């Protein structure tokens, strides 16, 4: 996920992993009937039995060792990522797949010193803060101006603060600092609008609803010159209140730089299967710089590696070609998957009929989240065919007597560039920085009020941060979906066909970012 960095963006920030709405969180789905135009009912039991937690963990242990040997990280642009990519390539070759690597350049963000935020007048206050990904560098002392703040917050999304150019009053004379509330649009949109309106620095505070109160570090999604830092809701609310009593002066200091680095996507493709009907099964390979990323997203990486190995072990003969994809620089803004989609020709794009995405499937306080392909629970549907992919997962879990929760197509992971060009998508997610609700704890167990993954984007995201029950349940569901789509004879549409379409114009400009 993206850095909050990222699963994985907030499609408004870079919390990257899809977050569900409050209403969706309460709508637990125990059994969801497969849509009428669903694919064939394929018996996946033998294949699922072959995909084991032990097999997944065998890959996770290697990724942990790689991180240990490379400064505790597997981030794109580091030796830890390069070693991870080499391991994936060797594993895919041993599994009999056709292996390729796609290098690309990307901006690698560095923070040279921690951010500092102080109120200088009328009171002297030091705040706990943090630098936003891709923030500009410098020190700005100026007047704090609240931008269309909504207090108290109402059920999400309540704030559109900074989403429109008209939200910004004329910047006061001298340096000015925009105080912006999280919500609705991407952090990049907020920062770019602030700069265009003449503001010299940006402070973004968390929105205020349950799960959106702590200090939140977002990803701007593009390199900017404007120093940008974060605040918790409590501190942001306090600073806002001060501005309502009279002029407030503050100082923002950041120390950053960006360098151009090279990383890559790695692919392993089945030799068999119709090359005109390609399933792209993806997981991002990189971690954040702060940690080894063994759940985010070693868990997705290890799961699809294990699935790929079992294609050879069981001598599976897919009817569709399966392309296993391991994305680079997801934590920098879905850059690997974006690069891949944007470099496809119209003919190549038209041959991809489905994308499955697995970004975090081993969270310690997990929920079985399924992407809401038909939009019935979250209000945002995927392209045609996505509802049928959702149906494959929910039908499978229902037959196992296992509950699921919906999660939105909000752009926080590598399915984003695919759905932007009309490719059906779906997948699983076990939760990131969001808090488990009491209703979810009653169904799934675990701890209500605690994060799904307390080590999300931290150094403690190690091999000890995995829930083996989550790996077992979500791993089996992933195996079932891949096997079903690889073996089905029937497509997504009412006439039973697969997608046969002229590729749309590539309008995706990415990266998606957290809100």
**Assigned CATH class of 109-257:** alpha beta
Mean pLDDT by 10 residues, the chain (515 residues): 40 34 36 49 96 98 98 97 98 98 94 97 97 96 97 84 97 96 92 98 95 88 95 98 97 97 98 96 96 98 98 97 97 93 94 96 98 92 94 96 93 91 96 94 97 96 98 98 95 77 41 42
> What is the spatial distance between Cα 497 and Cα 499, in angstroms, rounded to a whole number?
6
For the chain, what is the largest distance between any 2 Cα atoms, rounded to a whole number of angstroms? 73
Catalytic residue among 269, 306, 330, 433: 330
Q: So where are the chain's domains? A: 29-97+270-487, 109-257
Pair of tokens at residue 155: 């059920």
How big is the CA angle at 216 (ends 215 and 222), to the nearest 5 degrees?
A: 145
Same-fold call for 29-97+270-487 versus 109-257: no
Specify the pLDDT at position 38. 57
Report the C-alpha dihedral over residues 130, 136, 142, 145, rounded to 10 degrees. -70
Catalytic annotation present for 330: yes
Please give the pLDDT value at position 315.
97
**How do 369-371 and 405-407 pair as beta strands?**
parallel
- For residue 407, give the 3-state DSSP assignment: strand
For position 21, what pLDDT does the model report? 32
Work out the angle at residue 378's Cα, subtended by the Cα atoms of residues 404 and 280, and round it to the nearest 5 degrees. 70
What's the pLDDT at 492?
Answer: 84
Which helix or strand (DSSP H or E) is residue 392 part of?
A: helix 386-399
Which contiguous run of DSSP H or E holds residue 249? Answer: strand 249-269
User: What pTM does this model have?
Assistant: 0.84
User: For the residues of 70-137, what is the DSSP string, one character each?
Assistant: TTT---TTSHHHHHHHHHHHHHHHHTT-EEEEEEEEEEEEEEEEEEEEEEEESS-EEE--EEPBT---
* Tens digit of each residue's pLDDT (9 = 90 or more) over 110-162: 999 999 999 999 999 999 999 999 999 999 999 999 999 999 998 866 899 99
Distance of CA 96 to the CA centre of its chain: 30
Residues 6+ positions from 373 with CB-CB distance below 8 Å = 381, 382, 385, 386, 387, 388, 389, 390, 391, 409, 424, 425, 426
Cβ neighbours for 475, distance < 8 A, ≥ 6 positions apart: 51, 53, 56, 303, 306, 361
Yes or no: domain 29-97+270-487 corresponds to CATH 3.40.50.80: no
Name the region of 385 (left: φ>0; alpha: ψ -120 to 50; beta: rest). Answer: left
């Amino acid at each position: 996920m993206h850095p909050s960095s990222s699963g994985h963006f907030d499609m408004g920030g870079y919390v990257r992993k899809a977050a569900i709405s409050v209403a969706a969180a309460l709508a637990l789905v125990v059994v969801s009937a497969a849509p009428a135009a669903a694919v064939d009912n394929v018996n996946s039991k033998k294949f699922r039995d072959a995909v084991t937690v032990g097999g997944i963990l065998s890959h996770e242990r290697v990724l942990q060792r790689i991180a240990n040997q490379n400064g505790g990280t597997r981030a794109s642009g580091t030796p830890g990522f390069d070693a991870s990519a080499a391991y994936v390539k060797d594993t895919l070759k041993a599994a009999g797949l056709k292996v390729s690597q796609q290098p690309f350049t990307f901006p690698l963000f560095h923070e040279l010193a921690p951010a500092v935020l102080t109120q200088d007048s009328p009171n002297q206050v030091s705040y706990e803060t943090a630098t936003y990904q891709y923030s500009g560098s410098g020190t700005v002392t100026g007047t704090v101006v609240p931008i269309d703040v909504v207090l108290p917050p109402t059920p999400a999304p309540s704030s559109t603060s900074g989403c429109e150019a008209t939200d910004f009053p004329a910047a006061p004379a001298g340096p000015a600092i925009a105080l912006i509330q999280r919500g609705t649009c991407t952090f990049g949109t907020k920062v770019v609008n602030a700069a265009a309106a003449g503001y010299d620095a940006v402070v973004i505070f968390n929105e205020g609803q349950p799960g959106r109160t702590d200090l939140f570090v977002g990803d701007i999604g593009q390199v900017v010159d404007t120093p940008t830092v974060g605040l918790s809701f409590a501190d942001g609310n306090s600073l806002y209140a001060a501005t309502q009593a009279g002029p407030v002066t503050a100082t923002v200091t950041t120390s950053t730089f960006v360098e151009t680095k090279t990383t890559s996507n790695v692919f392993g493709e089945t030799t068999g299967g119709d090359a005109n009907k390609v399933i792209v099964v993806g997981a991002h390979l990189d971690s954040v710089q702060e940690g080894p990323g063994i759940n985010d997203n070693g868990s997705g990486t290890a799961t699809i590696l294990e699935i790929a190995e079992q294609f050879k072990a069981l001598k599976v003969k897919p009817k569709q070609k399966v392309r296993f994809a391991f994305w680079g620089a997801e934590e920098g803004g879905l850059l690997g998957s974006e690069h891949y989609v944007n470099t496809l020709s119209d003919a190549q794009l038209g041959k991809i009929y489905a994308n499955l995405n697995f970004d975090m499937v081993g969270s310690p306080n997990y929920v079985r989240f399924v992407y809401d392909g038909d939009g019935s629970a979250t209000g945002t549907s995927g392209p045609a065919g996505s509802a049928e992919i959702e149906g494959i997962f929910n039908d499978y879990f229902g037959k196992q007597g296992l509950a699921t929760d919906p999660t939105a197509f909000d752009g926080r992971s590598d399915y984003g560039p695919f759905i932007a060009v009309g490719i059906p998508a779906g997948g699983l997610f076990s939760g990131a920085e969001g808090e488990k609700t009491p209703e979810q704890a009653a169904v799934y167990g675990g701890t209500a009020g605690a994060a799904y993954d307390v080590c999300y984007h931290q150094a403690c995201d190690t091999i000890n941060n995995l829930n083996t029950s989550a790996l077992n349940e979500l791993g089996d569901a992933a195996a079932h979906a891949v096997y079903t789509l690889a073996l089905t004879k029937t497509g997504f549409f009412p006439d039973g066909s697969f997608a046969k379409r002229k590729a749309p114009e590539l309008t995706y400009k990415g990266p998606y970012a957290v809100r």
